[in-house]
Amino acid sequence: MSSNKQCGIVLTTINKPELLDGYTKSLANAGKLNDTRMYVIPDKKTPSSAYDYCEQLKKKGVDIKAPNINDQNEFLNKVGIDDMIPYNSDNRRNVGYLMAMEDDVDFVVSLDDDNFCIEGSRPFSEHSIVSDEKSVHKKVYSSNNWVNICEMIDFEQDTTIYPRGFPYHKRHENEGYSYETAECNIKVNAGLWLSDPDIDAITWLNSPVQGSKFTGDSVVLGENTWSPINTQNTGLANEALTAYYFVPMGYPIKGHTIDRYGDIFSGYFLETVCKSLGHDIRFGTPVADHRRNAHNFMEDARGEFGGMVVLEELVSFLTDLKLDGTSYEEAYLSLSHQLQEGVEKFSGSIWDDTTRAYFHRMAHLMRRWVKACKHVRREGVM
């Protein structure tokens, strides 16, 4: 790798990751291919063609890692968390995050395997803003402290669309946006998505939509202004990875199996830590072409429902939280302890002993994640 800024692209997949063709071409055109390492994290269902594809890219000069399951488990065993990264789960992307930390890249771009690069976009330079010095940007504020980032996209259907993870009790209010130009210290850059937007399954069932054009200027969230962050086309500084652990899904909650909200919970935790440290979050470019994999939206809705209900009370807790610490490590640990204590006071209908136990376990795993991050950053994995 060169002496310039180093980027790590991380994704997990059970498909042949052909989206990397577009990113490879874009990076090569920008002269940034030699400054990028790709981390493709296969799962048990990943076909052999995916490994073959990665080998072909490697022969073309692409710096790419695609560790098989045994190699991943050996890595996780040395880090001490081989028992907390489940198979057949988006949670496997955590392996790529840790590997990128160990390689000390300057910033990471988290992708889903259906986030295709749009020709002419500049994913490296746009996302690298998270490792820049402070710079001046447009900040957005709203009267209810929430920003609907989907308003930055033109949809083929004339209807109001909200991103997945946007709390329902904050929808359809008069946001009353205002803007200012200010110096920002951006550590997270959430790129948006055309074609199939990242919206929840209930919205898909009610009114399928297609995003045709990005029309807004990229904006930075104001200090008390919030919006959900996912793992699709999201860039973040290396240091922020400590607060970006993809939390486990698949737990029973009030007759529901909570699913498809691991990235949403993780994104809100990252956002809470980022704001606590006085850092900024940008939404907008680069925009990806989201060619959504085949989905059963009814099953998706069943999996998402528990997360949606939990989120209604959780975001109110997070937006009022005051964290201790001056680093991502310290603030994330503070968050884990306050989360564990805080859920004991939640009183909504979804909050019983099982739901609280899920978040107790989550908080415990968050602390183990910090320990693993410290291990790879300070000692590496030999």
State the residue range of the domain holding 62: 7-378
User: What's the token pair of residue 122?
Assistant: 């500049």
- How many domains is the chain partitioned into structurally? 1
Over range 345-356, report the average pLDDT: 95
Coil/strand/helix, residue 226:
strand
Check whether 133 has a pLDDT greater than 90.
yes
Structural domain contains residue 2 = no
Structural domain contains residue 339 = yes
Q: What is the 3-state secondary structure (H, E, C) of 136-172?
A: EEEEEECCCCECCHHHHEEECCCCCCCCCCCCHHHCC
Structural domain contains residue 73 = yes
Structural domain contains residue 329 = yes
Check whether 382 has a pLDDT greater than 70.
no
Lowest mean pLDDT of 119-123, 234-238, 292-296, 321-325, name the range. Answer: 292-296
Query: For 141-151, what is each residue's pLDDT tens digit?
Result: 999 999 999 99
Pairwise CA distance, residues 7 & 109, whole Å: 7
Report whether 46 contacts 88 (CB < 8 A).
no
pLDDT band at 3 (very low <50, low <70, confident <90, very high): low
Structural domain contains residue 274 = yes
Q: Which residues pair with 256 in a beta bridge?
A: 253
Structural domain contains residue 42 = yes
pLDDT band at 1 (very low <50, low <70, confident <90, very high): very low
Coil/strand/helix, residue 348:
coil
Report whether 96 contacts 67 (CB < 8 A).
no
Check whether 102 has a pLDDT greater than 90.
yes
Structural domain contains residue 1 = no
Closest CA to 199 of 252, 250, 248, 159: 159
Q: Is 0.95 surpassed by the pTM of this model? A: yes
Identify the burial level of 165 via C-beta atoms within 10 angstroms of its C-beta, where 0-12 means exposed, 13-18 middle and 19 or more buried.
Answer: buried
Pairwise CA distance, residues 178 & 223, whole Å: 13
Check whether 26 has a pLDDT greater than 90.
yes
Structural domain contains residue 43 = yes
Q: Are strands 36-42 and 7-13 parallel, antiparallel or unpaired?
A: parallel
Pairwise CA distance, residues 181 & 95, whole Å: 38
Query: For 49-80, what is each residue's pLDDT tens digit?
Result: 999 999 999 999 999 999 999 999 999 999 99
Pairwise CA distance, residues 200 & 171, whole Å: 13
Coil/strand/helix, residue 191:
strand
User: What's the token pair of residue 134?
Assistant: 């402070």
Cis amide leading into 17 (omega within 30) = no
Check whether 303 has a pLDDT greater than 50.
yes
Pairwise CA distance, residues 149 & 163, whole Å: 7
Lowest mean pLDDT of 27-31, 128-132, 173-177, name the range. Answer: 173-177
